Amino acid sequence: MNLQTKIAVRPDGSQTPVHQDLPFQQDQEAKIQTAYGKLSGKEKIKIGMQNLDLYYGDFQALKGINMEIPENRVTAFIGPSGCGKSTCLKTLNRMNDLVENCRITGKVTIDGEDIYAPRTDVTLLRKRAGMVFQKANPFPMSIYDNVTYGPKIHGVKNKAKLDEIVETSLQAAALWDEVKDRLKKSALSLSGGQQQRLCIARTLAVKPDILLMDEPTSALDPISTLKIEDLMGDLRKEYTVIIVTHNMQQAARIADNTAFFLLGQLVEYTNTTDMFNNPADERTERYITGRFG
Amino acid sequence: MKSEPEMNRISRRNRTTDRFMTGIFYAVAGFILLLLLAFVGYTLYNGFAGFTPDMLSFTAEGVGNQLFNTVYLVILALLISVPAGILAGIYLSEYAQDTKMTRFIRICVETLSSLPSIVIGLFGYLVFILMTHARWNLLAGALAVSILCLPLITITTVDAFRALPAEYKEGSLALGATHWESIVHMLLPACIPRIMTGVILAAGRGFGEAAALLYTAGMSTDLNWSNWNLTSPTCPLNPMRPGETLALQIWASRTESIAANSTQIANLCSAILILMVLGFSILARALSRHLDKKATGTAQ
């Protein structure tokens, strides 16, 4: 089967031929051979997971995950609700620490460092691996203060430097032109899509290397979704982006590599083209063709 | 499916009930408003009828000193209870685990706020006066009043923090802020308008308090407005001097005063108290709005 023609429906409903007007050209060349499949990406592996098990109390939410995520690529986690994709994402910046009774075994590394080692500085880890949430969560303060919140926490005090961070971060999040005249206005006065891009800008402001996005467009309208998808094409040049999405077309549109989770297991993980054209596992095929999930 | 005439009848009946209930709510609200206006109007009228400027003078004949004592005492009480109450509220809402113990603490705090003030007064007398071998003094009064204020501020702080969406804290932590940084830089500023409500309630309690001050701040006041030696008992700013407040003055004027115009003085004090509480509320709200605007930007 060939999904390429199906995935060419953009979220605003317009029909576009594949690979002509997509947010960005996916990297077609698969170079990294892993146990699962060939991954798109240069040689450098940013994130590794080895035999990762995660328990919420007695419930095992992740079962023996082994993954290598290449640098400067967009990796999508897909799968039905409750499959562990968000949980897996949250292990990467240790937001699961906040959940009571959450227990982790196995190893998670970023640039080869074990992030669950006892001497890990969690605040520095979260600075390196920024997170954008499903529901846009701007702080109840001005747009300007939202963006400078992180840098100030991490010790930037110089006003000129902060101004510069605000401008570059908002530009990187494609929001600058819309808000540059009202930076002192409340962030809560922005529309939903603008709020989500503000959250992306806020995350970029602390200069992470990894962007973790937990269904960032699921609460947004098609136009806003498109803007954020466009944005990701630019972001991957500088960041390693991981996006959790329940929208397979979105994964097909924006991801270089896609990982399919089911019941806490990583079923299939390969470059997006292979994943959607020749899924190796029958469960993957059934899921992406919409026969379950 | 019911028949059309019957549907019409039901619809008409529902509309009549709706109108009837709306009428009742308006009547109740109007009655309460009327009561309030009548009460405030009566107090203000009586207070300022037969008013002479020397009644406000800062001497033994006027109530200027009492007015000053009231404000000074409330400020002292708030200086003690606001930081303590906010810190206690932050502990209860952000740090304490939700256990039987913390629920018990919360019940204790709530009970404290409904404790009869004469009990607080006698407790204050025992602890702040007898045990320290001091005379009646304003600081003891302020401490007694802060016992009353503390639970109000603690509870509103707890509720304000609990009412914040969990996403705020998550977002802040995800940016690499510590729990404490998140509280200081984002959660607490976002709570200020609601905490201010608690402060207003607490201050109102302080302005009107009499029983708790009877045996702590004392019933006398003797100030020398040219004496600024803080250790002198006649210096207005010395917190270790006795200080009668307006509420106590009302009580004294109506019970034990032998002055010819004692009734008039009591009425005036009541009127001033009402205006003061009103003024403080307006001021605090304006301040809160200003802080909120500064924090959140001008829109919304």
CATH of the domain at B92: 1.10.3720.10
Q: Is B167 on the interface with A (CB under 8 A)?
A: yes
CA angle A52/A57/A62 to nearest 5° reads 25
> In whole angstroms, what is the distance from residue B14 CA to residue B24 CA?
15
Q: Would you state the structure tokens that stand for residue A290, as one six-digit string?
A: 């919409």
Distance CA B235, CA B222 (A): 9
Distance of alpha carbon B71 from the chain centroid: 12
Residues of A whose CB is below 8 A from B186: 139, 141, 149
Q: What is the pLDDT of residue B99?
A: 85
Quick check: is B1 in a domain? no
Chain A positions touching B165 (Cβ under 8 A) are 137
Say whether B168 and A139 touch across the interface (CB within 8 A): yes
Cross-chain CB nearest to B167 (options A133, A150, A184): A133
Residue B113: inside a domain: yes
- pLDDT of the residue at A2: 40
- Contact residues, chain B, for A127 at CB < 8 Å: 175-176
Nearest to A133 among B171, B178, B300 (CB): B171
Of A101, A100, A94, A82, the closest CA to residue A244 belongs to: A82
Q: What was the pLDDT predicted at A28?
A: 53
Decide if B74 is inside a domain: yes
- What does DSSP say about strands A45-56 and A265-271: parallel, antiparallel, or unpaired? unpaired
In a domain, B102, yes or no: yes
Query: Which of B175, B189, B295 is facing A206, going by the closest CB pair?
Result: B175
**Residue A187 and residue A22: Cα distance in Å, rounded?**
30
Asked, for residue B146, whether it belongs to a domain, the answer is: yes
Question: Does the residue B3 lie in any domain?
Answer: no
As a dihedral over the C-alpha atoms of residue B128, residue B133, residue B139, residue B141, rounded to 10 degrees, the angle is 50
Bridge partners of B276, per DSSP, are: none
Q: Tell me the residues of chain B between 171 and 210 that have a Cβ less than 8 Å away from chain A.
A: 171-178, 181, 185-186, 189-190
Alpha carbon distance A91, A120 (integer Å): 14
C-alpha distance from residue A60 to each of A109, A111, A138, A205, A264 (Å): 21, 27, 32, 35, 7
Tens-digit pLDDT profile for residues B129-179:
999 888 889 999 999 999 999 999 999 999 999 999 999 999 999 999 999
- pLDDT, position B298: 53
Domain count, chain B: 1
Question: How far is B160 from B153, CA to CA, in rounded Å?
Answer: 10
Cα torsion B69, B72, B78, B84 to 10°: value is -100
Q: What residue segments make up the domains of chain A, in order of their start? A: 71-85+122-288
ipTM: 0.83
CB B74 within 8 Å of CB B143: no
- Whether residue B33 is contained in a domain is answered as no
Phi and psi for A52 in degrees, rounded to 5? Answer: -80, 120
Q: What is the pTM of this model?
A: 0.81
**Identity of the residue in A137, A141, A187 whose CB atom sits nearest the CB atom of B170:** A137
The SS3 call for residue B298 is coil
Distance, CA of B113 to CA of B148 (rounded, Å): 6
Shortest Cα distance, chain A CAs vs residue B174, angstroms? 6
Cβ atoms of B126 and B143 within 8 Å: the answer is no
What six digits make up the tokens of B224?
């020398």
Tell me whether B296 touches chain A (CB under 8 Å): yes
Question: What are the tokens at B261?
Answer: 């115009």
Q: In terms of residue numbers, what domain contains B100?
A: 50-296
Q: What is the pLDDT of residue B285?
A: 86
Calculate Rg over the CA atoms of chain B.
25
Asked if B274 contacts B282 with a C-beta cutoff of 8 angstroms, the reply is: no
Q: How far apart are alpha carbons B202 and B155 in whole angstroms?
A: 11
pLDDT along chain B (300 residues), means of 10: 83 93 96 96 90 80 87 94 95 88 88 88 92 89 93 94 93 94 93 90 89 87 82 84 88 83 88 91 87 64
Residue B43 resides in a domain: no
Class in CATH terms, A71-85+122-288: alpha beta
CB of B163 within 8 Å of a chain A CB? The answer is: no
Query: Which are the contacts of B166, defined by CB distance < 8 A and separation ≥ 6?
Result: none
Q: CA distances (Å), A11 to each of A223, A228, A229, A250, B178, in order?
A: 7, 11, 10, 8, 38
pLDDT in tens, chain A (293 residues): 344 444 445 556 555 444 434 444 555 555 677 767 777 777 688 899 999 999 999 999 999 999 999 988 899 999 988 889 999 999 999 998 888 889 999 999 999 889 999 888 999 999 999 999 999 999 999 999 999 999 999 999 999 999 999 999 999 888 999 999 999 988 998 998 899 999 999 999 999 999 999 999 888 888 888 888 888 888 888 899 999 998 888 898 999 999 999 999 999 998 888 888 888 888 888 888 876 64
Q: What is the pLDDT of residues A78-133, one digit of tens each?
A: 998 888 999 999 999 999 888 888 999 999 999 988 999 988 899 999 999 999 99
What per-residue confidence (pLDDT) applies to B300?
Answer: 40
CA distance A158 to A262: 48
Q: How far apart are CA B144 and CA B216, in angstroms?
A: 7
**Angstrom distance (rounded) from CA B97 to CA B139:** 35
Residue B214 CA to residue B250 CA, distance in Å, equals 12
pLDDT at A17: 43
Query: Which CA distances in Å does A21 have to A10, A17, A248, A251?
Result: 9, 7, 18, 16
